[in-house]
Amino acid sequence: MFKKVLIANRGEIAARVIRTCKQMGIATVAVYSEADQHAPYVGLADESYLIGKPRVNESYLNIDKIVSVAKESGAEAIHPGYGLLSENTEFAKRIEKEGITFIGPSADVIGKMGDKIAARNEMKRAGVPIIPGTEQAVESAEKAKEWAASFGYPVMLKASAGGGGIGMQAVSNDEELEKAFEGNSKRAKAFFGNGSMFIEKLIENPRHIEIQVLADQHGNGVYLFERECSIQRRHQKVVEEAPSPVLSEDTRTRMGESAMKAVQALHYTNAGTIEFLVDDNENYYFLEMNTRLQVEHPVTEEITGIDLVEQQLRVANGEKLTFKQNDLTINGHAIEVRIYAEDPNTFYPSPGKLTKLDLPDGPGVRHELAVHSSSEITPFYDPMIAKLIVHAETRDEAIERMTQAIHQYEVEGIKSNVTMLKRIITHDKFKQGETKTTFIQDYYLPTLTNQ
Amino acid sequence: MTEVKASMAGSVWKLVAAQGDQINEGDDVAILESMKMEIPIPSESSGTVKEIKVEEGDFVNEGDVIAIIE
């Protein structure tokens, strides 16, 4: 096993990786920016190095600097965490070139999965369901209608050069399509200088369900079931759970097998996640693959009893997986909530100084922390300051446990989303498993205007 | 005279309006950046920008005055 590992990340994930390294007897190296000097993870590591100014491009994204710290400290491997450089092919290539092990898949696979079109094509080839759509621009409304007939309405029209929702419209019949095609094509031409349009099937009111995979360098791979991550604001997840409250055993197996097809086709190694959109009839469609550890990985660890960071280290070290698919079972139910430093009504960030952080304790309660009770939360990074995870025998018990824990969770000095989390967790629709991607809009935002 | 205030703490990423500009209600005066999120700060009234109180790169707290509209 590696003697020393550098963690090219910050916050709760750096602390999380350090914890497992310590348990395995691996020395750790932390890197930090001027803004993170007093962050808990810096003190947890055996060695720490200042790598630059607060802004990420002057510190955590500075490949040269991180590589030079790895060499200076004698680290044999680098764990990239999530975000930052974790899915950067240049970084993965550079590290390997320097003779250091990158704890993740190959640079080639990271590159393929980072390109939306390449990823879609790879999945199609591997036999993973993708959202039916046109692969080339559709030149006329007439042609668009033919495509729509082949997928079935409703469909989504998308300007190929579009962004920020401009040039995008959902339509549910030929007449709407005809109007929308002309209008959006014109608008896209005016905004982006390119009026070409794509069309794909609209997945209505979907859930976001993802499959965790793990594969070694010897051709062995397993899936560690699913995480339901539908509850999101600003396209960022807020509440995640495992297993999904709705998935049938049959669909779970089919999704897991689809994920394994992707792993085999890509010759994927290390931990990864395949995200799917799932409709009311349990049809599922590939959304994207994340070639790294996910923020919400603890819920999978809680229900499988497997330490994913430990597995990442072992796989990167060339070891074989010591368990097979049949050895894995789902044990109970786990829920994670993300604690964000933000206004719970507008979702605007709220940096500042914490004056209090009082955490619930008890059986089945787990914390992942980026801060301590008097941390300064700077405006330079993501607003997530902590994660609260609970595990229990059943979903109802997990919700009960989370309800108690979140009501004891006290954050003062800044605004946080704790009040929002309380409302989500205790909402009848959450208890009923109505966890759709529209949950916040349909069930949380209305509670604000009823105050 | 009305004040345009910051709706969140963060740094001034871009100033969209300048002193002397005529602006309408809802027009953006500045864009703040915090925690990887950019938030436009619109004026709540129409008028002339009498004064811009901040510079690009400045850190502002929630409620700080960014500009004065007359």
Residue A164 has pLDDT above 70, yes or no: no
Tell me the pLDDT band of A417, cut-offs 50, 70 and 90: very high
The CATH number of the domain holding residue B38 is 2.40.50.100
pTM of the complete model: 0.90
Inspect the interface and report whether the beta carbons of B35 and A382 lie closer than 8 Å. Answer: yes
CB A273 within 8 A of CB A289: yes
Q: CB-based contacts of A438: which residues, under 8 Å, 6+ apart? A: A205
Same topology for domains A4-103 and A141-201, yes or no? Answer: no
* Range 3-32 of B in CB contact (< 8 A) with A: 7-11
When the pLDDT of each residue in chain A is averaged and rounded to a whole number, the result is: 94
- CA A151 – CA A131 distance, rounded (Å): 10
Give the 3-state secondary structure of residue B64: coil
Residue A150 has pLDDT above 70, yes or no: yes
**What is the residue range of B64's domain?**
2-69
Residue A178 has pLDDT above 80, yes or no: yes
Question: Looking at residue B4, what is its pLDDT?
Answer: 96
Stretch A313-324: mean pLDDT, rounded? Answer: 98
Q: Token pair of A47, please?
A: 């060695």
Q: Tell me the chain B residues in contact with residue A349 when contact means C-beta distances shorter than 8 Å.
A: 8-10, 34-35, 37
Q: How far is CA B53 from the centre of its chain?
A: 9
The DSSP line for B5-59 is E-SS-EEEEEE---TT-EE-TT-EEEEEEETTEEEEEE-SS-EEEEEE---TT-E
SS3 sequence, chain A?
A: CCCEEEECCCHHHHHHHHHHHHHCCCEEEEEEEHHHCCCHHHHHCCEEEEEECCCHHHCCCCHHHHHHHHHHHCCCEEECCCCCCCCCHHHHHHHHHCCCEECCCCHHHHHHHHCHHHHHHHHHHHCCCECCECCCCECCHHHHHHHHHHHCCCEEEEEEEEECCEEEEEECCHHHHHHHHHHHHHHHHHHHCCCCEEEEECCCCCEEEEEEEEECCCCCEEEEEEEEEEEEECCEEEEEEECCCCCCHHHHHHHHHHHHHHHHHHCCCEEEEEEEEECCCCCEEEEEEECCCCCCHHHHHHHHCCCHHHHHHHHHCCCCCCCCHHHCCCCCEEEEEEEECECCCCCCECCEECCEEECCCCCCEEEEECCCCCCEECCCCCCEEEEEEEEECCHHHHHHHHHHHHHCCEEECCCCCHHHHHHHHCCHHHHCCCCCCCHHHHHHHHHHHCC
Compute the count of residue pairs across chains A and B with CB atoms less than 8 Å apart. Answer: 39
Inspect the interface and report whether the beta carbons of A383 and B35 lie closer than 8 Å. Answer: yes
Question: Looking at residue A71, what is its pLDDT?
Answer: 98
Stretch A186-205: mean pLDDT, rounded? Answer: 84
Question: Which architecture does CATH list for A207-449?
Answer: 2-Layer Sandwich (3.30)
Residue A167 has pLDDT above 60, yes or no: yes
Name the β-bridge partners of B5. Answer: B65
Domain boundary assignment for chain A? 4-103, 141-201, 207-449
- CA A167 – CA A169 distance, rounded (Å): 7
Residue A44 has pLDDT above 90, yes or no: yes
Give percent of chain A with pLDDT exceeding 70: 98
Q: Token pair of A220, please?
A: 């062995």
Instruction: Name the domain count of chain B.
Output: 1
B59 near A CB under 8 A: yes
CATH topology of domain A141-201: Dna Ligase; domain 1 (3.30.1490)
Q: pLDDT tens digits for A115-136?
A: 877 888 899 999 999 999 887 7
Distance from CA of B62 to the nearest CA of A (A): 8
Residue to mutate among B34, B39, B61, with most A CBs inside 10 A, is: B34
Strands A4-7 and A27-33 come out as parallel
Q: Which residue has the higher pLDDT, A167 or A30?
A: A30
Tell me the pLDDT band of A16, cut-offs 50, 70 and 90: very high
Question: Looking at residue A219, what is its pLDDT?
Answer: 96
Q: pLDDT tens digits for A259-286?
A: 999 999 999 999 999 999 999 999 999 9
Inspect the interface and report whether the beta carbons of B11 and A381 lie closer than 8 Å. Answer: no
Q: pLDDT tens digits for A376-392?
A: 999 999 899 999 999 99
Per residue of chain B (70 residues), what is the pLDDT tens digit?
899 999 888 899 989 999 999 999 999 999 998 887 888 899 999 999 999 999 998 989 889 999 999 9
CATH pick for A4-103 out of 3.30.70.330, 3.40.1390.10, 3.40.50.300, 3.40.50.20 = 3.40.50.20
CB B59 within 8 A of CB B17: no
Inspect the interface and report whether the beta carbons of A351 and B10 lie closer than 8 Å. Answer: yes
Give percent of chain A with pLDDT exceeding 90: 84
Interface of A with B (CB under 8 A): 234, 341-343, 346, 348-352, 379-383
Tell me the pLDDT band of A451, cut-offs 50, 70 and 90: low
The residues of A assigned a catalytic role are 292
Stretch A97-123: mean pLDDT, rounded? Answer: 93
- The ipTM, to two decimals, is 0.72
Which H or E element spans position B68? strand B65-69
In Å, how far are A25, A116, B65 from A209, measured between CA atoms?
35, 18, 44
